[in-house]
């Protein structure tokens, strides 16, 4: 007897429909044949399902059984087909009699006892079920909460195979989960870290505020112990809360990567990713046999912090150039091509020289000019061009460290950032662009117009500092953000001059 159940397969951060077909009573020796391009995790479903069915009080077929996962050209991976396979086996052997299966998309891993375990990509599957017009979706209890954020689809939390059978037969009804309210940003500034802990570094704090206000990329250059990493880790505390749409995008990516299974991403928070400098190109960009999100996608609508920037592999840094411009990355593999969003704020930190003490008044630098140039050359010019603000982080004086006077906290800084971003939202309206860092050339011409005197000033700076055309646009975007922080409708001379001085590396200050 043939039984069919709808499930799904993850392709990047999206879900594709998969039909789980089970046919029992075939001629031949008793065995289970699994086809449909399954990976090792799917092939092991036979053993898990056999034990789960038996321990749930049901019987496995004693005839030749074929299980097909269609379409056959789409590679299937992971244990998410356990539950639909088990239910289809019960229908095929007349142990489950119901016509309700056609109304649901079903996915879930089974333990040997028959209990369900969480799976990746629940949010994408709920969106697929809604798109296909299904009545609801059956998911493990550990994955159903995130899927309940999708409007227009009933999400049922299933804790065991037996519970799924009783629900489908109507023996034990189950209420769908109510949509979970997004508590976005509620705890963003109530954690253990705060900008009030930063001693001194007034210029660096100002640059960080400008960068966050416009979503600009930031590079901090300073000696060891100057607080670069400490500042970077506090940047999320001054970022505005993500909107509902932004947070659903964030959650979709982390769900597809399995990051929501162990609570790595807090509800309503922006991601902060800090990969080690030994990270590979694939881990940073995304990919693998079945293309999935990398660090740049996991930082979507959040912060990607690269500490000790020159220590990263040159190839790993260069793969970020196109995603930094486009806000998305396309990955092609034999298994298919996926496009992943990666609109993030890049924050990087580096020493001014190999020993770290070039320009430091307290330590002597013994690096030769050749060593300094070789060290700096590890970060290419095109990548530096894509970083809007280059700011020095000098060593902190002992007097500042001993001071009991706390610095300005995250709450007032966050209020100013929020006000600046509100100005940007009103300026750009309902368009795709929401922050100054993402302005197109047309928007730059429209919103960053300079009068004759300021235009002459910028031209002189470009010629004297030998800045690139990309740096020209970046300066205008940063100047527009500084004007927003000052609640100014037009870019004024102080705003432009401050934006120009943030191109430190273009001026070769460290030689």
Q: Which residues of the chain have a pLDDT value below 70? A: 180-191, 261-268, 334-336, 506-511
**CB neighbours of 113 closer than 8 A, spacing ≥ 6?**
51, 52, 55, 160
* Helical (H) or strand (E) element with 409: none
At the second CATH level, the architecture of 195-432 is 3-Layer(aba) Sandwich (3.40)
What integer pLDDT is reported at residue 185 of this predicted model? 44
134-153 burial, b at 16+ Cβ within 10 Å, e below that, comes to bebbbbbbbbbbbbbbbeeb
**CATH 3.40.50.300 in the chain, residue ranges:** 195-432
What integer pLDDT is reported at residue 506 of this predicted model? 62
**pLDDT of 418-467, one tens digit each?**
999 999 999 998 888 899 999 999 999 999 999 999 999 999 999 888 88
Of the CATH numbers 3.40.50.970, 3.40.50.2300, 3.30.230.10, 3.40.50.620, which one belongs to the domain with range 2-169? 3.30.230.10
**CATH 3.30.230.10 in the chain, residue ranges:** 2-169
Alpha helices, DSSP H, located in 386-451: 398-402, 410-428, 441-447
**pLDDT of 69-127, one tens digit each?**
999 988 898 999 999 999 999 999 999 998 889 999 999 999 999 999 999 999 999 99
What integer pLDDT is reported at residue 267 of this predicted model? 65
**What values do phi and psi take at 76, rounded to 5?**
-105, 135
**CB neighbours of 412 closer than 8 A, spacing ≥ 6?**
none
Its pTM stands at 0.87
What integer pLDDT is reported at residue 125 of this predicted model? 96
């Amino acid at each position: 007897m043939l039984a069919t159940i709808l499930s799904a397969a993850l392709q990047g951060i999206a879900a594709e429909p998969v039909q789980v077909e089970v046919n029992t009573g075939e001629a031949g020796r008793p065995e289970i044949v699994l086809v449909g391009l399954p990976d090792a995790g799917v092939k092991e479903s036979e053993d898990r399902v056999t034990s789960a069915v038996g321990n749930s009080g049901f019987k496995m077929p004693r005839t030749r059984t074929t299980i097909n996962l269609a379409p056959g050209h789409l590679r299937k991976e992971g244990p998410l087909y356990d539950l639909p396979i088990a239910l289809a086996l019960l229908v095929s052997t007349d142990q489950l009699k119901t016509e309700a299966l056609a109304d649901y998309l079903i996915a879930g891993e089974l333990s040997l006892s028959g209990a369900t375990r969480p799976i990746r990509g629940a949010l994408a599957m709920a969106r697929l079920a809604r798109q296909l017009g299904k009545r609801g979706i059956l998911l493990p209890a550990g994955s159903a909460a995130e899927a309940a954020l999708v409007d227009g689809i009933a999400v049922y939390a299933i804790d065991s195979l037996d519970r799924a059978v009783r629900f489908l037969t109507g023996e034990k009804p189950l209420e769908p989960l109510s949509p979970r309210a997004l508590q976005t940003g509620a705890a963003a500034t109530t954690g253990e870290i705060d900008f009030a802990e930063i001693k001194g570094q007034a210029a660096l704090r100002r640059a960080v505020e400008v960068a966050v206000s416009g979503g600009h990329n930031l590079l901090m250059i300073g000696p060891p112990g100057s607080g670069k990493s400490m500042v970077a880790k506090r940047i999320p505390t001054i970022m505005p809360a993500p909107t509902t749409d932004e947070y659903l995008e964030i959650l979709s990516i982390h769900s597809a990567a399995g990051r929501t299974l162990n609570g790595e991403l807090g509800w309503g928070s922006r991601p902060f990713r800090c990969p080690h400098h030994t990270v590979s190109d694939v881990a940073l960009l995304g990919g693998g046999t079945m293309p999935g999100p990398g660090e740049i996608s996991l930082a979507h609508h959040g912060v990607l912090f690269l500490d000790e920037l020159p220590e990263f592999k040159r190839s790993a840094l260069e793969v970020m150039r196109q995603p930094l411009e486009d806000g998305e990355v396309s990955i092609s593999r034999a298994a298919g091509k996926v496009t992943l969003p990666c609109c993030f704020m890049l924050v990087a930190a580096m020493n001014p020289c190999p020993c770290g003490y070039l320009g430091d008044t307290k330590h002597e630098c013994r690096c030769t000019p050749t060593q300094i140039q070789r060290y700096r050359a590890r970060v290419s010019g095109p990548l530096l061009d894509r970083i809007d603000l280059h700011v020095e982080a000098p060593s902190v004086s002992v007097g500042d460290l001993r001071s009991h006077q706390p610095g300005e906290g995250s709450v007032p800084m966050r209020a100013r950032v929020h006000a600046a971003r509100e100005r940007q939202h009103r300026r750009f309206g309902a368009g795709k662009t929401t922050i100054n860092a993402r302005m197109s050339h047309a928007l730059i011409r429209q919103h960053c117009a300079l009068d004759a005197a300021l235009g002459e000033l910028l031209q002189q700076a470009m010629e004297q500092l030998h800045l690139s055309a990309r740096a020209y646009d970046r300066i205008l975007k940063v100047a527009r953000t500084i004007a927003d922080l000052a609640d100014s409708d037009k870019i004024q001379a102080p705003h432009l001059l401050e934006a120009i001085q943030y191109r430190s590396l273009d001026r070769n200050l460290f030689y």
